[in-house]
Amino acid sequence: KLDEILARRRRLADRYNEQLADFPGVQTPYAPQHAPHTYQSYCIRLDPIQTPPRDWMMARLQEQGIASRRGVMAIHEEPYYAIRFGRISLPVTEAATRETLLLPLYADMTNQEQDRVIGALHAALREGPRQMNPFGQMRPFAQRGFRR
């Protein structure tokens, strides 16, 4: 059964990859040929300049009954570790913590269910607020330039 489950999860991930490919600022998972991804979860990264904030996106999806989760967790920011070891700065990890989002993906997910998630995600990406770039100007959403 494992091969069948993994194949289905990979097909669903491929559909997400295809549907999100044209959205600037959305980085999809990387899966090298020599190490195929199992897609235990499907994690995207949102560029904070080109996309709405991750928490805003999660709230919009939740309003439509679509569960999502924070992606990367920064253990050094969890209270137990911060108290025990003190505050430290890990800027790359902290950025990933703020910018990653887990989308629904499970082996029995239907294409219709996934289409609903994709539609809600597309709508939120188009509608959501944008942050200012370092020069104080809002960057147009349609502007390309996010490197994958």
- Give the confidence band of 132 by pLDDT, cuts at 50, 70, 90: low
**Global confidence as pTM:** 0.80
Note the pLDDT of residue 131: 64
Note the pLDDT of residue 129: 74
**Cα separation values, 134 from 8, 23, 101, 126, Å:** 42, 22, 24, 22
Give CA–CA dist 118/18, Å, rounded: 11
Is the pLDDT at 102 greater than 90? The verdict is: yes
* Cα dihedral 75, 79, 83, 84 sign: negative
